[in-house]
Structure formats: C-alpha cells, structure tokens
Amino acid sequence: MSLRLVSFFALPLLALAPAAVSAATIEVDTLADDPATGCTLREALASANADSAAGNGCTDGSGADRIVLAAGTYTVGAELTVTSEVVVVGAGVAATILDAGAASHRIFGAASGSVFGLSDLRLTNGRGQSLGGALLVSAGGEASLERVRVDGSQSQLGGAVRVSSGGRLLVHNSEFDNNVAAGSGGAIQNQGELIVVRSRLHDNSATNHGGAIHVHPQIGAAFTTIADSLFTANQATNNGGAFSSSFSGDSATSTITNSTFSGNSTDAQGGALNVQGGNHTLHVAGLTVTDNQAANLAGGLRATEGATLAITNSIVAGNTATNGAPDCTVAIGASSVEHHNLVGDSTGCVGMTSATNVLDTAAGLVALSNNGGPTETHALEVTSPARGLGDCVAPDGTLLASDQRGVSRTTDGACTIGAFDPFAVLVRTSEEPQGSNCEQGGTRIETGTDRDDNGSLETLEVTSTVFVCRDLTGAALVEASSEPAGENCAIGGLRVNTGIDADGDGALQDSEVTETSFVCNGAGGADGANGADGGCSVGDRGGNPIPATALLLLSIVLGLRRRRVS
C-alpha cells in the first residue's frame, strides 16, 4: 500500500466533520432528477465538480464539498459522475434512498482524480451493465462508504461495486445485500485496493467466482484487506462462495482477520474461501469458517498448488462438501505460515502440518447470532476446544488485539481462536484489613479473566491486585455498578467510582466521588468485561485533588486495557 492510503482512511471522516472553510455545503431540496424542480442531486454534484458558479440554482461548489440529502427516496435517472473531492451525506440508511429504478445504468461513477465519500444512505437497483451495478471506482479514483447499504444492484463484474486497477475503495460499517454479478464478484470485484471493515455481506451471488468478493488483478497488483466483518448466505456458481482470489494477471495479496464466514455456498469448490494461482496470496487470522458448503470439494477453504496461504488462530469446521474434504483442501506447499488452527475434518488439508493445530475435532460452535458488535458471530460452547488454544498472533507477527465484535482478546497466554473471544475481564472488590498492604485498612481490588465463564472471578483467575487504602481524612471507598450500553461502554459494562468517605457513613456519595472509570463488556459477558469499543472516561467530579491511591487504581484499569489491545 502506498503512503497516500493515509488520506484514503480519512475519507469517512469527511462525512462526519463540519465543512471546511474553503468547502461548500450544498443542500439538495428535491427528490426528483429534474432540473425544473429545484436543486437536484445531479445539479448539486455538478456544482461540486465545477468548484465554481454552476448557475443551476444550487449553492456553488468550492473545494472539498459536502452534499446533504434529507430523508426520502431520490430518483437517479442516469449515472452520476464524480470528478472532484466531495462527500454525499444522507439521513440514515433507512431514511435516504438513492434508487436507479433497475434501469440500464449504475448510480455513481468515481472518475480518475476524484475523492468521493458516501455516508448514511442506501443505494439500490443499480444496473452497471459490464462494471459495477451501483458504483464504479475508476483508475486513479478514491471512494469510501460509511454506514451505507447497497442492495438489489446488478452488473457483469462487481454486482454492486467494481474497483478498477489503480482505484481505491474503503467500506466501513456498511452492508451489501442481494447484489448479483453475471460474471464474478457478486458484491465487489477488486482490481485495485479494497478495505472492508466492520461490515456485513449477505445474500450476494455470482455466476462465476466470488459470491461476495472477487479479487482479480490485471494491470498492477491488487490489495484487499478485510477485518471484523461477516459473510453469510453468499453463493457462487464457480469457486469461492463468499470470497475468491483467482485468475491470471498481476499479483494479488489479501488479508482477512477477525471475520466470520457462515452459510455460504458454491456449485464448485471453496464454499467460503478460494485462493488459486501462482500470483495469489491469502493471509487469514482469527476467522470462524463454518456451515458453508460446496457441491464439489472444500466446503470451507480451498488453496490450490501454486497459491500462497497463511492461516493462524482460525476455526475451519462444520462445513460440508458433496465429493469429500468437507472443511478444506490445502495443497502441499500452498501453506506458508500456519499455526494454532482448529480443523473439524482435515481430509484434504494436507498442507496444514503444524503441531499446534487441532485436527479432526468438533469446534463446539453456537448458532450464528447477535453477541454484540456490528455483525453476528458464532459464540463458543463452554467445552469448546477452541478456548485458550491460540497465541493471538497473525501470520505477519502482529497481535490480534480484539475479536470481530471489537471486544479485546485475552492475550495473557491463552488466546481463544476464531472470530469470537468469550473470555471476560472481571473486577472483584473486598475489604482489606489493617496490615502491610494498608496501614489503616482499605479496599482490595482484583482483576482477572473469567476462564471458566461462570461470571465470578475465582482466586486462581486473579491476574492483578491493587489496594485503595484509608487515610486520615476518611476511608477510601470503591463502588462498582452496572453501566448500560451507551457512550461510555458500547456493549455495557462496569462503572467503577472511587473516593474518600468524608462524612464517615460508609457509603460513597456522589459528592465524594473523585474518580470514575469504566471496564466494558463484550455482549453476553459478565459485569466487568473489557470491550475495546467502550472507551474509558475519567473525571474529577469532586473538585478535590485526586488521591494517589485512586490514580493507582486508574492506572491498573487502564493498564489492563492497554495490555489487551496493544
């Protein structure tokens, strides 16, 4: 990836930040695609592209423009071409809809040199004919989708989106559903640079390869990065029910982490994933690949001779294939790095030889469901052998800091493999008597990992202990209470208040609280579980200096979080 990717990642932020001084905010005031009705989306885009007075009744464009769409269904009568730096912002995927009416045109085209963002809206019924049903990112163009749903679109290559060689696309917190490619890439075909994060690809289909995503480099290398995402119910007639990197051409490097592939299918091989060809490399870590099926071989994963596969800390189990090798076919020599994986049926996986793998063992997966986070996951049964099996290290040596939900993984020596880490971090408080730890007595605060999943922190599970000691002005108190899902903890968790019992009543009053911190949950976890998305909020509520003991408590809580996410 080139250095320019830094600005590429920043694209979604354009949709959220106020317009810059040199930019214009252009408000569309009509749903129709008819210049006689007011400032249409097409005219607003013309103003943004021209960056000058367009004379069409819309606000004049200037620099990196922002087009605002109110709620409603907007008719798109012909393709909208973007040639400048612009972001189009709607009122939400259920409120703002851009409908091409299943006519013979796509919705947007991002031309060379454009920097284009879409946020909080839905694209539907695009017909791109040969390339990209809803969006075509041309060579030299950059685009981002933030909280965008793309559905019901069709094309030959890239049913919803086509990224051409030299083009770039970032997809974040978005969904692709029910898109169709008459060729390859039911949702997306990538020949350039593609990043998909925290997104859901569901019920897309391709007559050829890659029911959801197809990587096919032609002119120059192709790069694909997928993280924290769900692929389900996608289908391909040829190889790769959900994902395929295949065909000749230049090199292709794909990396997939902390993601679930469930319920995908193919009429050929690789019900979920397929990598084939001497120039194609696939690195995967922290994946759960289950309940996929192939009409031929490899219901889960297929890696052919000549391709390069690196796979760590992943579950490939519970898949089916009509002609054998239900979970995978990995050719000898295809696997460059592989360790700490669980394979339900290793028939055909001859290239997976690491002694750290667990082969021919049921994974103990629970049905796909909402366990917190933006997409569904397969939780683990209490007796699952995947618990504590891994080392949380990706093929490139980096640490898998969180799972698919964004919940911090347990990385203190017993990482759980797959896309879902069930272990919660718990906090336990108790009275500390007078002694060497606290001269005047105080409170003992213990933290650790709930390895037996019983919701209680056992003595053998404690990994850290800190003491909050009484001083001459009063007792140092700690009060823990449940924190609902919200700004402080995305999936709920534990609020920890500390302070000095100034009035001596043995209870921590609001006026006595000097420090508040949060230890955040993963969904379904017990109080105190540490979730990466929840954040940690600290404030001096009493107006008094924060005691050193409270700062020590805070450092322990924050230190625990840092150790788990770094």
SS (H, E, C) 167-220: CEEEEECCEEECCEECCCCCCEEECCEEEEECCEEECCEECCCCCCEEECCCCC
Label the pairing between strands 80-82 and 252-257: unpaired
Q: If we measure between CA atoms, which residue out of 358, 237, 376 comes closest to residue 296?
A: 237
At 520, the pLDDT band (50, 70, 90 cuts) reads low
User: What pLDDT is attached to residue 475?
Assistant: 65
At 472, the pLDDT band (50, 70, 90 cuts) reads low
Would you say residue 335 has pLDDT above 90?
A: no
Q: Residue 21: CB partners within 8 Å, gap ≥ 6?
A: none
At 325, the pLDDT band (50, 70, 90 cuts) reads very high
CB 544 within 8 A of CB 405: no
User: What pLDDT is attached to residue 145?
Assistant: 98
User: What pLDDT is attached to residue 237?
Assistant: 98
Of the listed ranges 20-24, 206-210, 230-234, 387-391, the least confidently predicted one is 20-24
Would you say residue 471 has pLDDT above 80?
A: no
- Mean pLDDT of the chain, nearest integer: 84
Q: Where are the alpha helices (DSSP H) in 10-77?
A: 11-14, 41-50
- Average pLDDT of 247-267? 93
User: What pLDDT is attached to residue 211?
Assistant: 98
Would you say residue 122 has pLDDT above 70?
A: yes
CA-to-CA dists, residue 186 to 143, 166, 283, 499, angstroms: 19, 21, 22, 57
- Average pLDDT of 210-237? 96
User: What pLDDT is attached to residue 392?
Assistant: 92
Q: If we measure between CA atoms, which residue out of 335, 347, 340, 257 comes closest to residue 300?
A: 347
- Average pLDDT of 371-400? 93
**CA–CA gap between residue 520 and residue 483 (Å, rounded):** 8
**CA–CA gap between residue 127 and residue 145 (Å, rounded):** 19
Q: Bigger pLDDT: 109 or 336?
A: 109
Q: pLDDT > 90: what percent of the chain? A: 60
CA 27 centroid distance within chain:
31
- Average pLDDT of 213-228? 95
Q: Bigger pLDDT: 463 or 455?
A: 463
* Radius of gyration, CA atoms only, the chain: 26
User: What pLDDT is attached to residue 134?
Assistant: 98
At 556, the pLDDT band (50, 70, 90 cuts) reads very low
